Each structure stands twice: as C-alpha cells, then as structure tokens.
A = this chain, B = another copy of it.
Amino acid sequence: MIRKFFPYGRNNLKRTYRHYILVLATMLFIQATYSQEPKKLAELLGYPKDSKLLIIHADDMGLSHSVNAACIKAFDSGGITCGSIMVPCPWALEMTNYVKDHPSLDVGVHLTLTSEWNLYKWGGVSSSDQISSLLDAQGYFYQSVEEVGKHAIAGEAKKELKAQIDRVIAFGIKPTHLDTHMGSVLASPELIKIYLGLADEYNLPILFPRAYTSWFPPEVAKALNSKIFLLDNLFMLEPAMITGNWIEPYKKALTEMKPGLNEIIVHLSYDNDEMKAISQGHDDYGSVWRQKDLDMVVSREFSGLIKANNIILIGWRQISDLMTKQNSN
C-alpha cells in the first residue's frame, strides 16, 4: 500500500532539496552510480517501441492470510502479474513458502517501515536495539510515514531494509524487484538515497515513477533516467476517485493509458473476519476495499479492458531478467 506516496508533498521535498549540501551529496551519489544511456524498455523486451506495457501489482503480501489467499487467487486467474511481500509481517512465511513452491511467480520485496493498523502490529526483522529509531514505545514500527520521516536514522533504516531483502533470500526466494509500503522509503532524501542504493546493490528494478524525477535537479533527474527503468505512469486507486462503480477509475486509467511502462497497484484480500479485524476503524484500503479490488482484477470486464486497449501485460521479472542479462554482457 502506498497511501500517501509522498507524505511531505512535493513542495516540502523540493524545499528540503534546496538545502545545498544534501543536494550535492545526493547528486554525487546518483551521478556516480547512474551513468548509462536511457533505456528503451519495450524494444529491449522485444515489443514494438510504442507498446503500452502494464504491470498489475498486488501490494502487501504476507500482511495476513486473507491477503495471501486473495493474491494467490489473483495470480491463478491472471488478474495480477506480480506482487511484493511485507517481510516483517506474521504471514510472510506462508507467502514465501508458496512462492518457493511456485517459482514462476513474480514476487518482490515490499520494503516496510510502518505498522499502520490500530490493533494488528509488527516490528522490524532486525534486532530491535539496532533499529530503535524505527520503533515506537511499544516496540512496533510507527503507524505513519510522517513518523518514519521524523525519527528514522538513515543507517538504521538501511540495516532494516537490507535485513528484509536478505530474509526473503534466506527463505529461498530470488526477489524480482523492490518497492515501498506506504512510500515510506521515500519519506526523506536520505531514505530515497538508501532505496536507490539497495536497487544497485541487489541489482533489482525498483518502483520509481518518472514524474518524481522532477523533484530533483535536472542533472540528477537525467542520471536517474539513464539508469533506472522509470515508471512512465503509476496508477493507484485513492479514496477520492471512488464512484458507485468500483471499476470506473481503473477503466479510465486503462482507456487513457499511454505507451511506456505503466503500473497499476491493487490491494487484495477477502472481506472476511481476519481482514475486517485488521482494518477496523480504517475503511480506506480496508477489507471491503480489498475484496472489491480482488473481484475486479479477476473479472472479465477488467481483462476485457486490457485487451480492448491493446495493453501488454508484463511483470517486474522481465525487467529484472533484462538487467541481469545486461550486466552479464
């Protein structure tokens, strides 16, 4: 889930970047790391240059059994092409075991620094005394991205995020990509730098919308564009978009989709006792919402819209494989 993708807002982040030293440090980091030519992804994947490529991504795997079961149903029916696991959550092992038994599934790490529900909680996978800046007084992750941004010490966040990736690998899975739960790794320039660094260290594609490069100085944006397969468009349903008919905003997104790399994020679960209990007092992205997203992605209407709009479904795995191939050349 990325409920507040940039919790501080663009303007705040821009202001932060005006701080000269930080800008310089970030620029130097990115320029040193990202120096290749821009990629033409569709062609590199063997599709026509102007293809509308679409990743349909299920967030929050591992959060609950209800989420896992719904994601497995969506994988089976072709309603999603990939998803990512919240490693610190109690049901992560169920999902990683399933992925181990179904190695063709396209699954990444949903880098997690928040525990946002009121009564169902988790902390980090690292030793808690080594990540105390990430934990509240009760030993759980903070509820909001704002609190993460305020309290997180960069070194501790990096340690925890690496531990999450390493744990998935230790479970016997090769993650296909990295993305971010509630956008928490985008909560500060330091965290963004860590996120980019992890992509480089593990040689994995990451969720990073092209629009966000506008927050950076032009040279940094250019460097990013030349190294990362940026998302040309990211669509995630937000409360304000909801109309009577659940599929309408998705229909609009699919109908208006442009050539390039697109991603639709969905939040799946069953509207059952477990998910109702998890999301009590929290309708947005709660159990009813997730059941509706599930019903939609497995519907004929949704798959019909994809076909009717000449959209090519891909997963992060294809991009990850491409990166591996490029690196070995």
Contact = CB atoms under 8 A, between A and B. Distances in A.
Copy total for this chain: 2
A274 B94 contact: no
Contact of A273 (B93, B127, B274): B274
Contacts of A121: 90, 92-93
B128 A127 contact: yes
A93 B138 contact: yes
Interface in A53-108: 64-66, 69, 89-94, 97
B128 A65 contact: no
Contacts of A274: 64-66, 272-274
Interface string A104-143: 0000000000000001111001111110000001111000
B277 A90 contact: no
Nearest to A123: B125
Interface string A23-48: 00000000000000000000000000
Interface string A271-314: 01110011000000000000000000000000000000000000
Q: Which of A90, A97, A120, A272 has the most CB of B within 10 A?
A: A90
Given A93-B138, A94-B120, A127-B129, 10 more contacts: A66-B273, A66-B274, A90-B122, A91-B119, A91-B120, A94-B277, A97-B119, A129-B129, A138-B171, A139-B167
Interface of A: 64-66, 69, 89-94, 97, 119-122, 125-130, 137-140, 167, 170-171, 270, 272-274, 277-278
